[in-house]
């Protein structure tokens, strides 16, 4: 398929300064729920442990499937000792948790700066513990990753482990990016209805990451992949290196976004138009109906995005096109122009997209613009509320199932709720 | 390297943030990588502050590391000074910036800012949050009050007759456990004692206020974890005595009043008389007899743990079975407190170790932090929170101090409510065979969704993951013994089962009979 050329008339600018964003370690919070037999061991400082615990908030589990190997002074004195110490900690951990099948050693800012080579550690430990436990590594450090890029780094580290699908194998479709199980199941039913099956009539669709590390999908030159999340640059590159090809589409946010996303898969699979309509029309129309009441509440309201998850551009497209909101500023920590080309083309002309951040200047612009709704991180939300602005915590957009037809109205409701709340409170 | 599941304290720079956020007109520039800004949410979400903490982060990334991170830091300092116009600045590094050794102190000195700039050396790989708070407070107090220091060997002259004594209140910070309300309670007490308050610090103090600290006659130290270092320095330099009693609990509040009155040369009677404390009477009332000898496990920061242990024993008639703290700096004090009540001392910041100790001691009430609340929930043990680390619930909308006479009332309610009321306990025993009031029926106030007690006991047993020590094989329960066990009220049945099994294992009994059950009961009730 020839590359589609997207035109865009948005104003893209870049900004540098203090970035009020999470680092990639935060992704562990949803990744450990998704991959149910994986353990995430951060090799870092007390700050890393404190960050994950604070970001996880109320999600306190007895013994969560994540922990931190806290580096202390002795580890800084000699790297040889640090490696020995790491082996000791991993031994201790695996003895405690025989249920773990996949262990991620997660690099952090301090481990990167002292150049503790976790890839060698992972190889060494994998050799010792395989086949019971596979040990992989990736970096979730703040110097290399912003928030959702932690998921990207994690998935990219898994790609080399995916089984090989030979060049003469039937084509398969890989959906890439962690989705809530409920969303995944809905998507699978839609793909089934569209007839995405292989020559033996089995589903040709695989999801990555899988729910269990023992169910890794196979890929090869006949694999086409569709990104379910907009922040997976490294994962996409790793998949391409294995011969898989990306299907260009919007992201499955909102009724239109989901339809175009599914359409991408349908075109690649040459699903005929009638069958595609039959498979998708009921859910699409139901989503449209559900959105009506939120459009009444949100139309004409002005919204301002602080950078957070890279979901900002697709969300802005959904809010502008399907709910008639006005985009004041769309901040994003990083803009992948190729993966977001279809999204940028759909943004209203003249939309201001700001890549990067200088939080103080951005706050100045936000206060000056007085938007009706601000999408921002937890550090900024209450101070903005106290200054009279309505806010939507962006982290909820990452933890809540928002993709697909059936979640389109839920997604709209997340933006409507703060506004409704403000009208209810009189005291 | 230490394997850590949950941590009681953050890194030392978070302690510094608690000081910076408590103070007024101070700005903290933190050399830190992208991501460390998470710490802002502790203040805006947990404490619900309506403003951002006064902290600027350099948020360097990998591409900056090859370049000029020192320049990045200096730019951040200059920009923060221009934007926020603080009266004083704190500068320092988080754990990662400490490794790249950019020297924030030297770099900021080179900028020749017209305000005091306090360089903070907080070793992230050795120390933790409370230490960082104490050190930061001490450094800024020294910087601001130091220039007013009298010559060495200064002796404070006696107060002019007829003048009121004045004191400083030291220790309350941002993100502190009930600091806001404790401050109100103590301010009121000091007012009743006729003592003026010179400066409260760090909470609400400006750098200018800190420079006046030496003017007070003495210091009231509320939270040694954060204020002891500064108090010692003030005592040495300005010859200011420190009130050391922490007024948590009735007896401690009375002793605090006596100590302050003596230093201030005032009459303690009005403050003591004006103390309408319900907690003392409630504790003497007949319904409270069921509190007698309840076995409690205490864990928290040292100040709150030591105070809680004393209240538990002396003011509620509990039996303290264990006292622990994550504040290693105060290990000696906690050990002494444990020894005084014949309890086990536990000095650790390892959450799993605390969990194992609670499972082993099987207390009837846990007085701990939010972490112990989760441990207790899993083990099916009632729990009340007495100490940081804080949770959004520890910032109640109402006035809810821990200190002073009202604090004693708050503590009575908070600790007793999770337990069953005396009459309730009797009724449960009387009606335990009743068709709808039996042990399998969930408590009515929990509605129909509550798990049955049996289920929660079962899951508690599963999650405790405790290797059954000293039991090479499991003893079998004879059917009639199992039946007899069923007659024991459900809220102690789990303990009875475990004790009996332990007893049987120790005696190498293969079969647990009714006799074994009562032998074990007699054995453990000694």
Q: What is the DSSP string of B125-171?
A: TT--HHHHHHHHHHHHHHHHHGGGPPPTT--PPPPPTTPPPEEEEE-
Six token digits for residue B301: 């920061």
Q: Phi and psi dihedrals of B167, rounded to 5?
A: -140, 165
Same fold, A11-17+287-424 and A172-278: yes
d(Cα A373, Cα B511) in Å, to the nearest integer? 69
d(Cα B468, Cα B484) in Å, to the nearest integer? 23
Which residues of chain B have a CB within 8 Å of the CB of A112? 62
Of A51, A86, A144, the CB nearest to B1: A86
d(Cα A63, Cα A67) in Å, to the nearest integer? 9
CB-based contact B48 A382, cutoff 8 Å: yes
Least Cα distance to A21 among A286, A408, A378 occurs for A378
Residue A135 above 90 pLDDT?
yes
Q: Phi and psi dihedrals of A425, rounded to 5?
A: -80, 125
Say which residue the tokens 């270092």 belong to: B229
Distance (Å) of CA A401 to CA A179, A186, A210, A409, B218: 7, 11, 17, 11, 58
CB-based contact A69 B13, cutoff 8 Å: no
Nearest chain B residue to A357 by CA distance is B59
Residue B432: what pLDDT? 58
Six token digits for residue A81: 């000792």
Distance (Å) of CA A141 to CA A27, A56, B147: 11, 17, 42
Residue B490: what pLDDT? 67
Interface test with B, best of A109, A333, A377, A386 (most B CBs within 10 A): A109
In this structure, are residues B6 and A42 in contact, taking their beta carbons and an 8 Å threshold? no
Which residues of chain B have a CB within 8 Å of the CB of A379? 37-38, 40-41, 44-45, 52
CB-based contact A62 B51, cutoff 8 Å: no
Q: Where are the beta strands (DSSP E) in A153-271?
A: 172-176, 205-208, 223-227, 245-246
Task: Supply the pTM of this predicted model.
Answer: 0.90
Q: Phi and psi dihedrals of A223, rounded to 5?
A: -90, 130
Six token digits for residue B81: 């000074």
pLDDT band with cut points at 50, 70 and 90 for residue A252:
very high
Residue A121 above 80 pLDDT?
yes
Q: Phi and psi dihedrals of A337, rounded to 5?
A: -65, -30
Nearest chain B residue to A72 by CA distance is B125
For B390-405, give the secondary structure using H, E and C: CCHHHCCCCCCCCEHH
Domain ranges of chain A: 11-17+287-424, 24-145, 172-278
Residue A331 above 50 pLDDT?
yes
CB-based contact B62 A380, cutoff 8 Å: no
Q: Phi and psi dihedrals of B76, rounded to 5?
A: -65, -40
Nearest chain A residue to B29 by CA distance is A18
- CA-only gyration radius of chain A, Å: 22
Residue A1: what pLDDT? 39
In this structure, are residues A313 and A332 in contact, taking their beta carbons and an 8 Å threshold? yes
Which residues of chain A have a CB within 8 Å of the CB of B35? 21-26, 51, 109, 141-142, 146
| CATH numbers and ranges of domains, chain B | 12-129 (3.40.50.1980), 148-273 (3.40.50.1980), 282-419 (3.40.50.1980), 425-524 (1.10.8.550)
Say which residue the tokens 């090989």 belong to: A164
pLDDT band with cut points at 50, 70 and 90 for residue A7:
confident
CB-based contact A69 B2, cutoff 8 Å: yes
Q: Let me know if A199 is exposed, middle or buried by CB neighbors in 10 A (0-12, 13-18, 19+).
A: exposed
Of B35, B49, B126, the CB nearest to A22: B35
The percent of residues in chain A predicted with pLDDT above 90, rounded, is: 89
Task: Divide the 526 residues of chain B into consecutive groups of 10 and give the mean pLDDT of each group.
Answer: 92 98 98 96 95 97 89 97 98 96 95 98 96 98 97 91 94 97 97 96 98 98 97 97 96 96 94 81 89 95 97 96 96 95 93 93 94 88 94 93 96 90 59 57 51 39 38 74 81 80 89 88 75
Distance (Å) of CA A399 to CA A25, A155, A219: 15, 18, 28
CB-based contact B1 A46, cutoff 8 Å: no
Which residues of chain B have a CB within 8 Å of the CB of A385? 50
Least Cα distance to A394 among A331, A346, A326, A344 occurs for A331
Least Cα distance to A325 among A348, A352, A353 occurs for A348
In this structure, are residues B341 and B308 in contact, taking their beta carbons and an 8 Å threshold? no
Full strand arrangement of the beta sheet holding A326-332 = A11-15, A352-356, A326-332, A302-305, A373-376, A391-393
Contacts for B136 with CB less than 8 Å, ≥ 6 apart: B15, B16, B19, B20, B90, B118, B120, B122
d(Cα B489, Cα A36) in Å, to the nearest integer? 38
Least Cα distance to B167 among B313, B265, B68 occurs for B265
d(Cα B347, Cα B334) in Å, to the nearest integer? 8
Interface test with A, best of B59, B85, B395 (most A CBs within 10 A): B59
Which residues of chain B have a CB within 8 Å of the CB of A64? 5
| DSSP string of B497-521, one letter each residue | HHHHHHHHHHTT-SEE-HHHHHHHH
DSSP label of A211: S
Of B38, B100, B124, the CB nearest to A54: B38
Total number of residues shown for chain A: 427
Contacts for A266 with CB less than 8 Å, ≥ 6 apart: A194, A276
Q: What is the mean pLDDT of residues A213-239?
A: 97
Residue A86: what pLDDT? 95
Six token digits for residue B110: 């080179």
Residue B475, CB half-sphere, CA atoms under 13 Å: how many?
26
CA A231 from chain centre, in angstroms, equals 6
Please indicate whether residue A121 or residue B429 has the higher confidence score (pLDDT): A121
Residue B466: what pLDDT? 38
Residue B471: what pLDDT? 41
Q: Under CATH, which architecture does the A24-145 domain have?
A: 3-Layer(aba) Sandwich (3.40)
Full strand arrangement of the beta sheet holding A205-208 = A205-208, A172-176, A223-227, A245-246
Average pLDDT value for chain A: 94
Of B4, B128, B463, the CB nearest to A67: B4
Looking at the complex, report in whole angstroms how far the Cα of residue A213 sits from the nearest Cα belonging to chain B.
Answer: 22
Q: What is the mean pLDDT of residues A163-181?
A: 95
Total number of residues shown for chain B: 526
Which ipTM score applies to this complex?
0.94
pLDDT digits (tens, 9 = 90+) for A355-381: 999 999 999 999 999 999 999 999 999
Six token digits for residue B156: 């404070």
- CATH number of the domain at A172-278, out of 3.30.530.20, 3.40.50.1980, 3.40.50.720, 3.90.230.10? 3.40.50.1980
Residue B469: what pLDDT? 42
Domain A11-17+287-424 has CATH 1.10.357.140: no
* Residues of B designated as active site: 287
């Amino acid at each position: 398929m020839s590359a589609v050329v997207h035109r865009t008339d948005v104003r893209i600018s870049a900004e540098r300064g203090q970035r009020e964003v999470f680092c990639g370690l935060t992704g562990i919070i949803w990744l450990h729920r998704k991959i149910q037999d994986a353990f995430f061991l951060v090799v870092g400082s007390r700050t890393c442990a404190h960050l994950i615990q604070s970001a996880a908030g109320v999600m306190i589990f007895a013994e969560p499937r994540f922990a931190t190997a806290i580096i202390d002074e002795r580890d800084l004195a000699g790297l040889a000792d640090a490696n020995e110490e790491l082996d000791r900690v991993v031994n201790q951990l695996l003895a405690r948790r025989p249920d773990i099948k996949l262990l991620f050693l997660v690099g952090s800012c301090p481990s990167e700066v002292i150049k503790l080579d976790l890839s060698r550690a992972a190889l060494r430990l994998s050799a010792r513990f395989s086949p019971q436990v596979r040990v992989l590594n990736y970096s979730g450090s703040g110097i290399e990753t912003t928030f959702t890029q932690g998921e990207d780094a994690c998935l990219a580290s898994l790609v080399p482990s995916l089984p090989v699908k030979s060049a003469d194998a039937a084509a398969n479709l890989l959906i890439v990016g962690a989705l809530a199980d409920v969303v995944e199941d809905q998507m699978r039913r839609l793909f089934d209805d569209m007839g995405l099956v292989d020559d033996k009539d089995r589903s040709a669709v695989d999801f990555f990451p899988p729910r269990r590390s023992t169910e890794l999908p196979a890929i090869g030159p006949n694999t086409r992949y569709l990104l379910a999340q907009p922040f997976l640059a490294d994962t996409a590159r790793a998949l391409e290196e294995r011969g898989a090809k990306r299907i260009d589409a919007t992201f499955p946010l909102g009724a239109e976004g989901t339809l175009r996303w599914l359409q991408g898969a349908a075109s690649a699979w040459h699903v005929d138009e009638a069958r595609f309509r039959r498979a998708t029309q009921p859910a699409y129309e139901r989503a449209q109906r559900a959105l009506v009441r939120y459009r009444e509440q949100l139309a004409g309201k002005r919204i301002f995005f602080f950078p957070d998850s890279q979901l900002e551009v697709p969300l802005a497209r959904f809010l502008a096109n399907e709910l008639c909101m006005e985009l004041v500023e769309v901040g994003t920590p990083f803009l992948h122009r190729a993966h977001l080309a279809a999204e940028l083309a759909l943004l209203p002309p003249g939309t201001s997209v700001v890549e990067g951040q200088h939080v103080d200047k951005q706050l100045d612009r936000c206060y000056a613009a007085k938007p009706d709704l601000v999408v921002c991180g937890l550090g900024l939300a209450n101070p903005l509320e106290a200054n009279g602005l309505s806010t939507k915590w962006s982290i909820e957009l990452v933890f809540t199932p928002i993709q697909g037809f059936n979640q389109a109205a839920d997604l709209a409701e997340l933006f409507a709720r703060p506004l409704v709340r403000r009208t209810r409170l009189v005291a | 390297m230490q394997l850590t599941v949950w941590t009681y304290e953050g890194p030392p720079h978070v302690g510094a943030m608690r000081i910076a956020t408590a103070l007024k007109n101070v700005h903290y520039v933190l050399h830190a990588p992208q991501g460390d800004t998470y710490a802002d949410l502790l203040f805006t979400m947990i404490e619900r502050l309506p403003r951002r903490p006064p902290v600027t982060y350099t948020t360097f990334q990998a591409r900056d590391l090859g370049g000029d991170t020192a320049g990045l830091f200096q730019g951040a300092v200059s920009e923060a000074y221009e934007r926020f116009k603080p009266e004083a600045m704190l500068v320092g590094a988080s754990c990662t910036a400490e490794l790249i050794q950019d020297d924030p102190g030297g770099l900021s000195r080179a900028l020749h800012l017209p305000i005091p700039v306090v360089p903070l050396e907080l070793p992230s790989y050795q120390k933790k949050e409370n230490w960082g708070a104490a050190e930061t407070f001490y450094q800024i107090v020294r910087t601001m009050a130091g220039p007013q220091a009298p010559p060495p060997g200064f002796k404070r002259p006696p107060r002019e007759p007829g003048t009121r004594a004045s004191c400083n209140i030291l220790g309350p910070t941002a993100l502190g456990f009930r600091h806001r309300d404790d401050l109100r309670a103590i301010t009121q007490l000091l007012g009743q004692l006729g003592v003026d308050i010179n400066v409260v610090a760090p909470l609400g103090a400006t750098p200018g206020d800190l420079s006046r600290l030496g003017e007070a006659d003495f210091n009231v130290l509320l939270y040694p974890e954060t204020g002891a270092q500064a108090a010692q320095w003030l005592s040495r330099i300005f010859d200011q005595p420190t009130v050391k009693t922490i007024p948590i609990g009735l007896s401690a509040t009375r002793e605090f009043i006596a100590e302050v009155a003596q230093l201030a040369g005032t009459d303690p009677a009005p403050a003591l008389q004006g103390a309408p404390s319900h907690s003392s009477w409630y504790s003497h009332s007949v319904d409270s007899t069921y509190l007698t000898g309840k076995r409690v496990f205490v864990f928290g920061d040292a100040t709150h743990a030591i105070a809680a242990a004393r209240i538990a024993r002396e003011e509620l008639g509990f039996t303290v079975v264990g006292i622990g703290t994550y504040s290693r700096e105060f290990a000696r004090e906690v050990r002494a407190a444990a020894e005084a009540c014949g309890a086990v001392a536990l000095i650790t910041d390892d959450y799993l170790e605390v969990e194992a100790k609670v499972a082993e001691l099987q207390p009837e009430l846990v007085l701990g932090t939010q972490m112990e609340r989760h441990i207790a929930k899993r083990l099916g043990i009632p729990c009340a929170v007495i100490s940081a680390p804080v949770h959004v619930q520890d910032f109640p909308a109402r006035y809810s101090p821990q200190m002073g006479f009202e604090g004693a009332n708050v503590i009575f309610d908070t600790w007793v409510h999770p337990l069953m009321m005396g009459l309730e306990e009797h009724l449960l025993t009387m009606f335990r065979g009743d068709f709808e009031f039996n042990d399998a029926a969930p408590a009515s106030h929990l509605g129909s969704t509550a798990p049955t007690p049996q289920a929660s006991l079962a899951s508690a047993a599963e999650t405790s993951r405790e290797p059954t020590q000293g039991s090479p094989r499991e003893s079998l329960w004879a059917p009639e013994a199992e039946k007899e066990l069923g007659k024991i009220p459900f809220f102690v049945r789990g303990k009875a089962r475990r004790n009996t099994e332990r007893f049987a294992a120790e005696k190498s009994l293969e079969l647990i009979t009714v006799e074994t059950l009562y032998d074990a009961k007699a054995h453990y009730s000694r």
